[in-house]
Chains A and B, each alone.
Chain A
Amino acid sequence: MIRLEKRPNPSRFWLYATPVVAVALTMIAGGLMFAALGKNPFEVIRTIFWDPLFGEFAWYLRGQLLVKAGPLVLIAVGLSLGFRAGIWNIGAEGQYIMGAICGAGVGLAFYPTESRLIFPLMILAGAFGGWVWAMIPAILKTRFNTNEILVSLMLVYVAQTILAMASTGFLRNPEGAGFPGSRNFSSYPAAQNPELIAGSGLHWGGVAALAVVVLAYVLLQKHILGFQIKLAGQAPRAARFHGVNPATLVVLCMGISGALAGLAGMFEVTGPAGQISIDFNSGYGFTAIIVAFLGRLNPVGILLGGLLMALTYIGGEMASTNLGLPSSAIQAFQGMLLFFLLGVDVLTNFRIRSLIGRSTTGAR
């Protein structure tokens, strides 16, 4: 018999060991799956984890890792603040879309004016769009005690509909012959989010992600708000006695995560994506939830988690193209990562006790 026994305090060892063990288990279980699909598991794992970093085309793919990880980290850091305080913003995808629409909308409103002020204004608009979209579930929660998980999630689908309207209607390229999609920002320098160093993949979104990691780290370690966030998550009653206003915390955490998701959307639409299109969003808002947990809700951990997640995307894509793996096998592989992470996570708060011998005595 095996029994789980609650630890008096979460294990610090397992807190940090969990992601490593989860990645290792994913490689083993994923390898078995690849073998069952008739592929050489070692070749597939090497293609996913090694080739993008050190393979033939690493000079291109390393930059692409930053492109992919940037929005994930930016969103996940914001989400992690709320998650620590027990505030579950599941709708980052919607906030990401709204940020992109607002940012792009402001930029396109000035087309074709050239001014240095346009891009900063678009950044503000992007953050504002995400913030507003996150304020809806936040205010509904504080006023009417609705569930922020459901409301924020449902608003993703509303945002997707607005995105479709934007690309077929109010933001459509007037020179696009009636086809959906906005103007491409690559041909509008004032509103463009370019690669800062050619070939590096680093754009303003990546810079913002790094800055946010540092800011969040300082906030959590040094600032009273960081203390309140942690306290509210660990001991809500104690937090209340300590003078933490739960409503303020909800509004702040939802607002920050929404604004950051909006920023990510704005940087993506003006940079790598290039234009508002019907399917512009590609799930960053949802994947960032995995990244937040992969990084233990810790800003530095999230940075690493975001890079790892980007690696599985880009490496997985290579495995799928070059080795002929179905794309669903790669998705299953990514799913395994979250599964093992949550599974192994049990060991942080529980220890395994073997009860052989003792349980029989107990039954007598």
Chain B
Amino acid sequence: MLRRTLLATAALGLGLMTTGGALAAGMDKVKACFVYVGPIGDGGWTYQHHQGALAVQEAYGDKVELQWQESVPEGADAERVLTQMALGGCNIIFTTSFGYMDQTNAVAAKFPDVKFEHATGFKRDSANVSTYNARFYEGRAVQGTIAGMMTKSNKIGYIGSFPIPEVMNGINAYYLAAKKVNPNVELSVVWAFTWFDPAKEADSAKALIDQGVDVIAAHTDSTAPLAEAAKTPGVIGFGQASDMEAYKPSPRVSSIIDNWAPYYVKRVGELLDGTYAQSDTWAGIADGEVLIGDITEAVPAEVKAAAEKVRDDIAAGTLHPFTGPINKQDGSPWLAEGATAPDGDLLGMGFYVEGITAEIPK
């Protein structure tokens, strides 16, 4: 069962809106539709969303009809695809990329009877828009622990997609965890400015390896960074969004798996039995939405044990990846001794923590 985390996006003054959505009457059959930013075959982000969609079909069989559209650009095209889906009889539409935020809200306003679920966004302009996200940064803390203990050059790397809060969370959590186990660690960040472009992703990995980096974490959607890491002995990396088990046992030594299935099954189920209501969900390791993929034998037993302890402590709620004292990159204080980061800070994170020498592209 998912623990629902209700968030107030304080910056927008939206407040809690969960009570805003009217309860829908139960339905006999639900047409559930999914909009994907990449191809299902990306082996990462979109693939995992599609696995979630298939799980919905599995759970409810004939009571659910699935429809999806791959590789929808985040712009005017998305608005048309959403409108077509709404016109075509979809009852609930999952828009699975941050860039669909304005389009989701615009179309939702025109179709009040259709439920819209937007992944990783924060706007819920009408009562039929819900948002959902996963605490990926919790998984980054596990990866950072492995990275800090495994690096021989003391240089670890991160391939960023875009400098948005979700990615900044990941970079900072990865670095803080690595530094905790290895005070000498240095982090390099390369920005790919894409979610899915295997060639660019591979180039980014290569640029990091050329700098002497031997542990690479990627925040893009394809397996290309791992394929690139596999070319250089001694370089390791992690599966991102999906397990990417084809690269086991090395370079893929562990992974973050986005497990959307429980959420999708739950939301469609609520629509079927009439308990559906507007919500804002941000679930993590404890809820099973973020899974840590098998840690392979390519890492020593004590590294594996340390990483698993981080995972289990986060799941138990005894460890928060952002626990003070933490300063911002410019030295100004962020979190006091023992304080944990409020969700609002994480959702709007636009800074590096102290110790990271890279610059945020402006």
Write the residues of chain A forming the contact surface with B, with a CB cutoff of 8 angstroms: 57, 60-61, 64, 67, 160-161, 164-165, 168-170, 175, 177-181, 184, 186, 268, 271-275, 277-283, 314, 317-318, 320-322, 324, 326-328
Contact = CB atoms under 8 A, between A and B. Distances in A.
Nearest to B121: A179
Given A169-B361, A272-B79, A177 B12 contact: yes
Contact of B67 (A164, A275, A283, A321): A321
A243 to B, nearest CB: 45
Given A180-B164, A277-B99, A165 B361 contact: yes
A168 B162 contact: yes
Contacts of B80: 64, 67, 314, 317
B306 to A, nearest CB: 32
B355 interface: no
B11 A282 contact: no
Interface residues of B, number: 44
Nearest to B166: A179
A170 B362 contact: yes
Contacts of B361: 164-165, 168-169
Given A179-B98, A274-B102, A321-B88, A67 B193 contact: no
B71 interface: yes
Contacts of A161: 193
A282 B73 contact: yes
B164 A179 contact: yes
A97 to B, nearest CB: 12
B106 interface: yes
A326 B39 contact: yes
Given A179-B165, A186-B106, A327-B70, A57 B79 contact: no
Given A177-B11, A278-B193, A317-B84, A328 B99 contact: no
Contact of A178 (B75, B88, B349): B349
A169 B40 CA distance: 31
Q: Which 4 A/B pairs are nearest by Cβ-Cβ distance?
A: A272-B76, A282-B73, A169-B362, A178-B350
Contacts of A180: 162-164
A178 B76 contact: no
B348 interface: yes
B76 A328 contact: no
A273 B67 contact: no
Contacts of A168: 162-164, 361-362
B45 interface: no
A268 B84 CA distance: 20
A175 B12 contact: yes
Given A168-B163, A272-B79, A273-B75, A321 B85 contact: yes
Contacts of A67: 76, 80
B82 to A, nearest CB: 11
A78 B107 CA distance: 33
B39 A327 contact: yes
Contact of B9 (A177, A277, A279): A177
Contact of B84 (A179, A272, A277, A318): A318
A320 B193 contact: no
B128 to A, nearest CB: 18
Contacts of B195: 279
A161 B361 CA distance: 10
B51 interface: no
Interface of B: 9, 11-12, 33, 39-40, 67-71, 73-77, 79-81, 83-85, 87-88, 98-99, 101-103, 106, 122, 162-165, 191, 193, 195, 347-350, 361-362
A278 B164 CA distance: 11
Given A61-B84, A278-B162, 14 more contacts: A57-B87, A161-B193, A164-B191, A177-B11, A177-B347, A178-B165, A179-B122, A277-B99, A278-B193, A280-B74, A282-B76, A317-B69, A324-B67, A328-B71
A177 B348 contact: yes
A61 B67 CA distance: 19
Instruction: Name, among B9, B39, B68, B77, the residue most crowded by chain A CB atoms within 10 Å (CB to CB).
Output: B77
B192 to A, nearest CB: 10
B68 A321 contact: yes
A285 to B, nearest CB: 13
B69 A268 contact: no
Nearest to A184: B102
10 contacts: A57-B84, A61-B84, A179-B101, A180-B162, A279-B74, A279-B75, A279-B99, A317-B77, A321-B81, A321-B85
A268 to B, nearest CB: 7
Given A60-B83, A177-B122, A180-B164, A275 B102 contact: yes
Nearest to B83: A60
Given A177-B9, A273-B76, A278 B68 contact: no
Nearest to A179: B164
Contacts of B87: 57, 60
Nearest to B191: A164
Given A317-B80, A322-B88, A327 B69 contact: yes
Contacts of A275: 102
Given A177-B12, A178-B349, A328 B39 contact: yes
A320 B98 contact: no
Contact of A321 (B11, B77, B84, B191): B84
A3 B321 CA distance: 72
